[in-house]
Amino acid sequence: MVDADVAAAFAAGRIPPDMSWITSEYLSQSRDYAPTVAIIFVCVFATLIVLLRCYARIFSTKRFGLDDVLAVSSNVLYIAFVVLCVILIKEGSGRHIEYIQYVLTPDQVNLTEINDFAAHIIYTTALFVCRMSGLSFYHHLCDRHKRLLIIIKCAAVFLICAYLPQLFLLIFHCLPVTGLWPYAWQAESTNFTCIAWGAVYSVNSGLSLVCDVILFAIPATMIRLLQVSLSRKIKLSFVLLPGVAVIM
């Protein structure tokens, strides 16, 4: 079935006639439904976990600390990110590049770029806040172990130092500063000097991976240094180490 906007683009003559391989069926191809469902499912699941954590902290341990506040803040940012992801999918960001170039109007393309720019900043910030929540939790567990406290504080400094270049790379990806990230075929591309998106993504992803490795190396160190029985260490491993799956 041919999408109405694709048919309108062909009728308006926006599809180059010399590109015979760009058919209406090709431009109408979409896998939007499955990613949308998956993204919403993960968001709902993560939110339920955070709510259960808050319930346990408030009614069981009677302690709602900084780590919990940061966890809730991270989840709020994550929900905002998911909303933008769904909006971007509905706007056509998940379609073929030819769909974006020839079917979407220039104003629609600009809007997707601005939403994508906002989504990246929110997501990067959500990850940072989430990691700081983890460090705050570790700090609470090790408040009497000076060596571990020093490691945790050094990790916090590193996370902050890694977050700032990630944020600045996104904000200053183009000069003058803009929410757009124009393709070469956009009229706005001549108005800005931009870093290649691949370079920004590579640097930010690399820093993010290093931060995750550092974050999850801390509980492994904690378990190794704690003077407790082997069975206790195994139980702590099941509590503190599942997050390593994030790195994998």
User: pLDDT digits over 11-24, tens only?
Assistant: 999 999 888 889 99
- Residue 211 corresponds to which tokens in the numbers above? 């931060």
Per the structure, the count of domains in the chain is: 1
6 domain residue, yes or no: no
- Give me the pLDDT at residue 242, please: 75
Q: Per-residue pLDDT for 212 more than 80?
A: yes
Q: Is the pLDDT of residue 225 over 90?
A: no
Interatomic CA distance for residues 90 and 180, integer angstroms: 18
Interval 209-230 mean pLDDT? 83
186 pLDDT higher than 80:
yes
Structure pTM? 0.91
Confidence category of residue 34, pLDDT binned at 50, 70, 90:
very high
pLDDT at 172 over 90: yes
Residue 201, C-beta contacts closer than 8 angstroms, at least 6 positions apart: none
How many Å apart are CA 44 and CA 49, to the nearest integer?
A: 9
Is residue 132 domain-resident?
yes
Integer Cα distance of 129 and 71 in angstroms = 7
Question: What are the tens digits of pLDDT across the range 133-167?
Answer: 999 988 888 877 788 889 899 999 999 999 999 99
Tell me what the mean pLDDT of segment 2-12 comes to.
91
* Calpha distance 212→247 (Å, rounded): 6
Q: Nearest to residue 235, comparing CAs of 246, 216, 219?
A: 219
Checking if the pLDDT of 244 tops 80, the result is no
The answer to whether residue 8 is domain-embedded is no
Q: How many CA atoms lie within 13 A of 183 on its CB side?
A: 12
Split at pLDDT 50, 70, 90, the class of 78 is: very high
Tell me, what amino acid is at 185?
Answer: W
Cis (ω within 30 of 0) for the bond into 176?
A: yes
209 vs 217: CA distance, rounded Å: 12
Domain around 84: 31-247
Residue 14 lies in a domain: no
